[in-house]
């Protein structure tokens, strides 16, 4: 009989030992899949909202933009709270906010309600389940971080692809259940999975995957130690040019690609493609991007993030010019494949490049600032792109805007330093002795 052990410190199936870090990746992937699907799948509903409520492209894009703005503004705060007080606590709050936002969105009848329920309330949960959650996963890995990040960020893409197919079917049940059913099921799953989640390996007596015997058993994410480390680390990181450039790169890339992500279905419909076929194009893009979401962090971890990010940004910018001449369904599908390769890689190398630049410092706050840049880009790209689209009566100028914004991102990546060396290797020297990782090592030896 196959023996199975579910104890975190001795997790195994038969003779196969499994580090609990992979359980954390699994839990985080499901949580991020739920919130990511809710964020992107409603792009398929843009034509439905136009028909049902008579809302304009600019008005609908404004809702998505507002969500990105609020999530962006809350991202550094969410990362800071998670670093200082523990990720698990803040995610319980995130699940509750998610449920409330989804239930309210299902009752909307006016555009201002869509702005409030989807654009503001749900935005807080989006930030919580992106920034602190992703930062927490990095704490569990000394090696194979690329595989972990690739898994974490590719599965939500597949989930979104499935949601894109399901959302139009749910819409046949009425607007209410289009949001209520995913809200109820999603919140229940998140709260159940939080029972398996732990802030850091030391919380259950483990070391990160790949840690050596000489590495300390650390408990650095709780209490006064976490607060001091977060504050000092951020001060040092903000003195590097890369800290600010990465915020800008995330801004340019997200501003460019979100015009396409949220508008692709409507673009295809504008060129005579049926709503169902347009949803299929968007689904193809999402599925293709899921593959590169896995491969790019692995490549970035192995070969360095700078070059991998530059290639991804280039593939995100050049293919959008195809939309200027696209009329047939096969052209839209070809675009979806090429653009999906680029956009999947553009977003997913950031956790890895943070590790390569800043080592094992508290990443939640730094990644939160980068997510602020990305979120503001997602919002402003939609606002400006939607306004131009509405004013001109077609999407041509919006496509040129997307191309230009992504191209600025490519140029900004060239200015990044090499990822072969940490930028602030001695930042812990500014900490009080008891808050340094060397102190954790000494405590381990004395135990």
**Residues 177/166, Cβ–Cβ less than 8 Å:** no
Measured between alpha carbons, how far is 414 from 307 in angstroms, rounded to an integer? 8
- Average pLDDT value over all residues in the chain: 84
| Residue among 286, 298, 303, 355 nearest 148 (CA) | 298
pLDDT over 60 at 447, yes or no: no
| 53-57, 58-62, 200-204: least confidently modelled range | 200-204
Burial class (CB in 10 A: 0-12, 13-18, 19+), 344: buried
pTM over 0.75: no
Q: How many CB atoms lie within 10 A of CB 291?
A: 17
The pLDDT of residue 335: 94
As a whole-number percent, the residues of the chain with pLDDT over 70 amount to: 91
pLDDT-based confidence at 409, cuts 50/70/90?
A: very high
Higher pLDDT, 162 or 419: 419
As a whole-number percent, the residues of the chain with pLDDT over 90 amount to: 25
Burial 274-288 (b: 16+ CB within 10 A, else e): ebeebbbbbbbbbbb
pLDDT-based confidence at 137, cuts 50/70/90?
A: confident
Note the residue count of the chain: 447
Token pair in block for residue 69:
């703005």
Measured between alpha carbons, how far is 218 from 369 in angstroms, rounded to an integer? 25
Token pair in block for residue 248:
């800008």
pLDDT-based confidence at 444, cuts 50/70/90?
A: very low
The pLDDT of residue 36: 82
| Residue among 153, 187, 146 nearest 344 (CA) | 153
pLDDT-based confidence at 359, cuts 50/70/90?
A: confident
**Residues 264/333, Cβ–Cβ less than 8 Å:** no
pLDDT over 60 at 156, yes or no: yes
Topology given in CATH for the domain delimited by 16-202+220-437: Growth Hormone; Chain: A; (1.20.1250)
| 26-40, 392-406, 432-446: least confidently modelled range | 432-446
| 238-242, 292-296, 383-387: least confidently modelled range | 292-296
Measured between alpha carbons, how far is 394 from 221 in angstroms, rounded to an integer? 51
**Residues 372/71, Cβ–Cβ less than 8 Å:** no
pLDDT-based confidence at 45, cuts 50/70/90?
A: confident
Pairing type for strands 4-5 and 12-13 reads antiparallel
Q: Compute the chain's Rg from CA coordinates.
A: 22
pLDDT over 80 at 191, yes or no: yes
Highest mean pLDDT (candidates 43-52, 200-209, 227-236, 391-400): 391-400
End-to-end alpha carbon distance in the chain? 38
| Residue among 419, 423, 388 nearest 402 (CA) | 388
Percent helix, strand, coil in the chain, to 5, is 80, 0, 20
pLDDT over 90 at 114, yes or no: yes
Measured between alpha carbons, how far is 7 from 13 in angstroms, rounded to an integer? 11
pLDDT-based confidence at 438, cuts 50/70/90?
A: low
pLDDT-based confidence at 446, cuts 50/70/90?
A: very low
Cα–Cα distances in Å, from 148 out to 28, 59, 142, 154, 352? 10, 38, 11, 10, 10
The pLDDT of residue 324: 93
Highest mean pLDDT (candidates 218-227, 322-331, 375-384, 435-444): 322-331
Token pair in block for residue 53:
């409520």
């Amino acid at each position: 009989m196959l023996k199975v052990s579910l104890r975190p410190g001795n997790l195994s199936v038969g003779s196969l030992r499994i580090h609990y870090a992979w359980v954390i990746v699994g839990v985080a992937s499901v949580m991020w899949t739920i919130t990511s699907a809710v964020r992107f799948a409603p792009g398929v509903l843009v034509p439905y909202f136009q028909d049902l409520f008579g809302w304009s492209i600019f008005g609908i894009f404004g809702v998505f933009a507002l969500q990105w703005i609020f999530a962006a503004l809350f991202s550094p705060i969410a990362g800071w709270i998670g670093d200082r007080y523990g990720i698990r606590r803040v995610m319980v709050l995130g699940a509750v906010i998610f449920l409330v936002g989804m239930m309210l969105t299902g009752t909307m009848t006016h555009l201002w309600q869509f702005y409030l329920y989807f654009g503001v309330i749900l935005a807080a949960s989006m930030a919580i389940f992106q920034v602190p959650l992703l930062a927490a996963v990095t704490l569990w890995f000394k090696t194979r971080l690329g595989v972990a990040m690739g898994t974490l960020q590719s599965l939500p893409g597949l989930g979104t692809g499935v949601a894109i197919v399901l959302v139009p079917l749910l819409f046949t049940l009425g607007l209410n259940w289009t949001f209520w059913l995913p809200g109820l099921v999603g919140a229940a799953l998140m709260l159940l999975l939080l029972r398996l989640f732990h802030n850091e390996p030391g919380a259950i007596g483990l070391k990160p995957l790949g840690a050596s015997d000489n590495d300390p058993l650390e408990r650095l994410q709780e209490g006064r130690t976490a607060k001091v480390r977060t504050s000092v680390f951020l001060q040092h990181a903000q003195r590097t040019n890369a800290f600010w450039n990465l915020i800008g790169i995330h801004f340019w890339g997200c501003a460019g690609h979100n015009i396409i992500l949220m508008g692709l279905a409507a673009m295809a419909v504008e060129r005579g493609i049926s709503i169902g076929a347009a949803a299929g194009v968007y689904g193809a893009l999402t599925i293709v991007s899921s593959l590169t979401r896995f491969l790019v962090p692995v490549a970035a971890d192995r070969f360095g993030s700078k070059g991998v990010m530059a290639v991804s940004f280039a593939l995100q910018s050049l293919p959008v010019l195809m939309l200027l001449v696209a009329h047939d369904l096969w052209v839209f599908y070809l675009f979806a494949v090429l653009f999906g390769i680029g956009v999947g890689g553009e977003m997913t190398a950031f956790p890895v490049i943070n590790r390569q630049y800043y080592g094992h410092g508290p990443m939640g706050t730094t990644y939160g600032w980068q997510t602020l840049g990305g979120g503001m880009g997602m919002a402003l790209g939609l606002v400006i792109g939607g306004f131009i689209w509405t004013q001109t009566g077609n999407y041509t100028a919006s496509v040129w805007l997307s191309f230009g914004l992504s191209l600025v991102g490519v140029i900004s990546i060239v200015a990044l330093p090499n990822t072969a060396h940490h930028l602030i290797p001695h930042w812990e020297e500014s900490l009080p002795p008891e808050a340094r990782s060397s102190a954790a090592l000494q405590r381990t030896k004395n135990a």
